[in-house]
Amino acid sequence: MPSSPQAPAEPTAEPLASRTIADVETLKALADPVRIRILEAMCGQPVQDWTVKQIAKALGTGPTKLYHHIRILEERDLIHPSGQQLVRGIVETSYRTAQLELRLDRAFLSSASDEVRTTAHAALLSVFDLARQDLEAAVRGGLVAAETDPSPSAPFILTRTMIRTTRARSIELRERMHALLREYSDDSSGDMKLAILVSLHPVDGPVDGRADVAEPGGSKRS
């Protein structure tokens, strides 16, 4: 039986450019790798109407495993219903992301309770674990090769290092990194999908030592 389109339940607003998280319940919603994957997929095509089946296909999993996560994201206004259609006698809801970027409120975290700190820790672990999963999958799939020389067809950087600089130059570095990410995220003609994880923050202790892991192509710096 063909599907029967229906009008959206309400007008679908354009996603916010950025949203700041300042409550523990929304932070809890983000402390799960599956829900982060869902938001990543939807933010990749923010004007698309996503059914649970389409999200499941993008994530390579079964739709029945996602309904619970979709409900939590909707409850926290991280996604919005954008329409409904009747499929084989069942009403199927489609969704859109409510924002293109998420930020954590620094004041909220610094004055946080034990519950907030625990939840923030779980969210941070989820982000780093997803980055690890993506890299391992890229290696297994041959997208990243541990070659001596960088491959022009397979860009790869994995490095950890400490630098000494001034506060002013650290702000300059942060802004230049933001600008680069914005510049390269707007290439709609691109045929390659890249995973990027950036962590830039002050640390205690000496900064004379370096602990580089790898440069493009997997070579280690000295």
At 222 the pLDDT is 37
Predicted TM-score (pTM) of the model is: 0.78
At 99 the pLDDT is 95
Mean pLDDT of 41-55: 93
At 146 the pLDDT is 61
pLDDT above 60 (res 214): no
pLDDT above 90 (res 191): no
Mean per-residue pLDDT over the chain, rounded? 84
At 73 the pLDDT is 98
DSSP assignments along the chain, one per residue: ---EE---SSPPPPPBS-EEE-SHHHHHHHSSHHHHHHHHHHHHSTTS-EEHHHHHHHHTS-GGGTHHHHHHHHHTTSEEEEEEEEETTEEEEEEEESBS-EEE-HHHHHT--HHHHHHHHHHHHHHHHHHHHHHHHHHHTTSS---SSPPTTS---B--------HHHHHHHHHHHHHHHHHHHT-TT--------------SS--------B-GGGPPP-
Mean pLDDT of 9-30: 85
192-203: per-residue pLDDT in tens?
A: 888 999 999 999
Mean pLDDT of 89-106: 91
110-125: per-residue pLDDT in tens?
A: 877 899 999 999 999 9
Split at pLDDT 50, 70, 90, the class of 220 is very low
Q: Which domains does the chain have, with CATH numbers?
A: 4-103 (1.10.10.10), 143-222 (no CATH)
pLDDT above 60 (res 74): yes
